[in-house]
Structures are given as structure tokens and as C-alpha cells.
Amino acid sequence: MITSSPSPSPSSQPADLWDVFHADRLEVERGLSSSQLRAALAEQRIRDDDLARPAGTTLPWTRIADLPELAETPAAPQQQQQSTTGLVEPETRADEHQHQPEHAPAPTEPAELHPPTLAQADSLALPTLSDLPSREISVAEPGASSASQPLTTTSVTEPTTTATVIPSPPTIQADISPPPPPPPLLPLPMDSAEQRERADRVEMPTVFEDSLDLDFGVEARLDPFGELNVEESWPEEDDEDDDDLLRAEAEAEAAAPLEVKAAAGSIAPSVSELPPDWSADLDLDLDPDLEQVAEVEEAAIEENFTLARSAVRHVEELDLAPMVDVAFQLVLFFLVTASTLVYKTIEVPRPNPDSPPEVVAQGRPKSVEELEKDYILVEIDARGGIQIDHEPIAPELSVLCARLRSARQQTGRTVMLVKADVATKHRSVVLTYDAASEIDMRISLTIPSKVDGEPSG
């Protein structure tokens, strides 16, 4: 619920001094008297779209065109002649304001928003810096004026307040008391005539006294593109808490009184002195730092804005099915081309019948004793019994290996001479071959005398 603000602290500045904000140059000129202001208006150094407020105060900026006492200059006819250029005539504005209540609902419904005038400021208890919130969007004053009332709201006895957020209208209380007048609309710093016209049409009531739901609010904002966006917003449940918060924030943000300098020229305003930029996304609850951050982010977004379609991000995929097929084909090829059968064999010297008889046959001029000097004689009988150097041993591989190794070490003979009977089984002879292979000993064979088919004697 919007309550009336307490009376502001007395200002040390004269009442006829004004601070003027030049909308075209974005500069603030301070300490102008009313006469100086009127003269500047006449000389076109100050336009009707420029903003003004009492010097040394933090009241919301008001368009000079909305201040009749400043606009009523000797050069007023010039301003009226220039109405075609887009300047707003105060008379026409008065008429518009007079007509607007007609379109507006009954006196019980909220009226248009009017900025406070200098005379009103003298009579009314203007809010102090500690009372006013940081936001400067005004809310229409319900029942403050009617169609018969002029533009000025001199008849209003209750002090006007500058609401902080439009979509937070007052709630209904049990004790039926007239709701406080909402603060006036925030004058927008406009440059073009079109924007000025829109500003005139933006004045919409935000509080409906006799509506079924007084919590319903209408928010009108201008987006950056100059389009009017009307949004209906339902306030939060704790409206009273919001008002308390707003009041607390306003008290917490009490700033030092501004130093009024002589109007030697225009002074570049600081960020806190400039009126807030009207934006659809304006969030008056933000801190200045956060506002700057938001602006930077918006600027970054605008820079990165593009309608070009980004390259399709292809994800590298590897289809394994063809690779498996190729692997199978390779396996098949090598199966067909490669030989898969490998025999395990023991290489033996081929018994050459043309070899020296003293090596091949027994009983030749070279005796066995002579052969025994060069070879390790291994004799195998028909039953499979094995003798090494006429010493019988067990027909086992380990025993043969040990005996052959010792014979080689003792005598230095490195070749084994195998003498087997014709009837000896083939596997017994292979056993000796295996033993010789294990100790890496060469093999020599003797052809049995019965090989030629002659019976053994």
C-alpha cells in the first residue's frame, strides 16, 4: 500500500532555482532561475523535452513542457508556432489531460498521472530523499483529479509520492480510507517527436479503485525499440511487506544533499543524477553495479547476435561393421592360401649305401673298437633293450640322456652311433633319436645287414 511520504527536509536553495537536464546533450545545468530558464526556452537553448526539477533536490525529473509555470514564457507564441515540429503545446496537453479523464472511468477509477508543478511543490509536502525510493516511475493517482480539474493538481491536498514499481498497487484495507495518491509519471527523456507522442500516450492508470481485484495492476513500458508493451501483472502476496521494503530501501539510500553550483555552464551529469533510461526490462530493484553488468551483458548479446546458422557439429563416428567384415575376409584369404599342416619330425642322417663301409656296416675292416673311439655306441636289440658302450640301461629317455651326457663328458665323443637290429621296433630307435636331440648330440646310423633282404645270421 502506497502511503504518503513525510514532508521533505527544507532546502537551502531558493525555490525558483532549477536543475535542467538537456536531453540532446545529456548534460545537466544547475542553478537556473525561472527567468533564466524561460529565457533559455525563448532562445531555444532549452527545449520542451528537456527535463527539470527543483535545484538541490532529488525529485523526479519533469519535462519542461509539463511545467506550465516555466513554459509560460514571453516566447510562448513561438513555441505554439513550432508545434508542427513536434513540440507539445501546453494548452493542447491541458486539453488532452482534460479529455483523458473522460475516457477514464468514473471518479472512483484512477485518473491520469500528472507531474508535480512548482506551485504544488510549495504547498505539498514533498518527500525527502530518505523517503523517496531510488526508482522514479510514477503511478497514477487514483481519484486525484477529475475531468473538471485542470492539469495541475493543486486541489490535491494529500502529498504525492513517487511510487517505485508500477505493478505494485495498494491493497484493500479493512478501514476504508482513501488510497494515497500515486506518484506522478516519470517524464521520459525523449528526442524525437514520435517518442514524445508516445510518451503522451503512455500515461495509463495503474490503480483501479473500484475494481473487483485491487491487486490487479497494469504495467506500461516502452521497450528499446519504442514499442509499447502493456503487461498485466499480479502483485505478490506480501504487498505490505514490499511497501515496507521500499520505504526501508529509500531510507537506506539517503544521499547527501547535492551541492548547487553556480550556473556557469552545463555540467556533465553523473550516472546517479541522470534520469533512468526507460526500458522494458528495467528493473528498478537492481543496484547500479548490477545494472551496469546487465547492460554489459546485453551489449555482449547484441554483439554476438547473428542469424547465421552455425556449422553442424559432426561427431566422429566409426562404424565397426565393415571393419569386421574385412577382418573376416582377410582370415578367409589366409586360410585358403596358407598351409595349415605341419609335421613334427626328427631329422636323421640318411643312410647312404655309398658311405664308407667302416661306418655303415659291422664287421668290416674297421672294427667296432675303432669306431667306439669316435662314436658313442648305442646298441638296441630286437626286444628293445638298449646298451650304451656295452652297458645295458633302462629304455627311458631321462636315463639315456644322463648316460650319453656323461659319456660325452668323459670321453669327449660327440657323435652317437645307433646300431639296431632289423627286428627292433621303430619306436625304440626313435627313443634314442629323441635322447640325442635333447643333449644336442649328432646321430649316425648303421644299416642292418638284413636290410638287403638277407636273413640275419
Partner 1 sequence: MLIQRDSGLNENRDEHIDMTPMVDVVFQLMTFMLFSIQMTGGEEVDLPVAKHGIGVEENIATVVTVREPAKPGESPILALRKDKGEEVAVSLDQVRQEVAGGLAKGRRKVILQADGDLPHGEIMKVAATISELDGVTLHIGVQEPQ
In degrees rounded to 5, what are phi and psi of residue 206? Answer: -120, -10
Q: C-beta of 354: minimal distance to partner 1 in Å?
A: 9
Q: What distance in Å separates the CA atoms of residue 334 and residue 363, rounded to the nearest whole number?
A: 55
Q: C-beta of 402: minimal distance to partner 1 in Å?
A: 15
Write out the E strands in 224-273.
228-233
Q: C-beta of 325: minimal distance to partner 1 in Å?
A: 6
Q: C-beta of 404: minimal distance to partner 1 in Å?
A: 14
Residue among 442, 327, 309, 304 nearest 378 (CA): 442
Nearer to partner 1, 209 or 421 (CB): 421
Please give the residue ranges that form the binding site for partner 1 (CB under 8 A): 305-310, 312-315, 320-321, 324-325, 328, 331-332, 335-336, 339, 341-353, 380, 397, 420-431, 433-434, 437-438, 445, 447-448, 450-451
Burial tier of 207 (Cβ tally within 10 Å: 0-12, 13-18, 19+): buried
Nearer to partner 1, 258 or 360 (CB): 360
Q: C-beta of 413: minimal distance to partner 1 in Å?
A: 20
Contacts of 411 (CB under 8 A, 6+ apart): 376
Q: C-beta of 300: minimal distance to partner 1 in Å?
A: 13
Nearer to partner 1, 15 or 324 (CB): 324
Nearer to partner 1, 163 or 380 (CB): 380
Residue 122 in grid coordinates: 510549495
Q: What distance in Å separates the CA atoms of residue 439 and residue 197, rounded to the nearest whole number?
A: 116
Nearer to partner 1, 218 or 447 (CB): 447
Burial tier of 425 (Cβ tally within 10 Å: 0-12, 13-18, 19+): middle
Nearer to partner 1, 234 or 334 (CB): 334
Residue among 207, 239, 201, 236 nearest 221 (CA): 201
Nearer to partner 1, 191 or 298 (CB): 298
Cα distances (angstroms) measured from residue 58 to each of 23, 104, 154, 244, 401: 18, 31, 21, 21, 117
Q: What distance in Å separates the CA atoms of residue 301 and residue 309, rounded to the nearest whole number?
A: 16
Q: C-beta of 344: minimal distance to partner 1 in Å?
A: 4
Alpha helices per DSSP H over 87-180: 90-103, 118-123
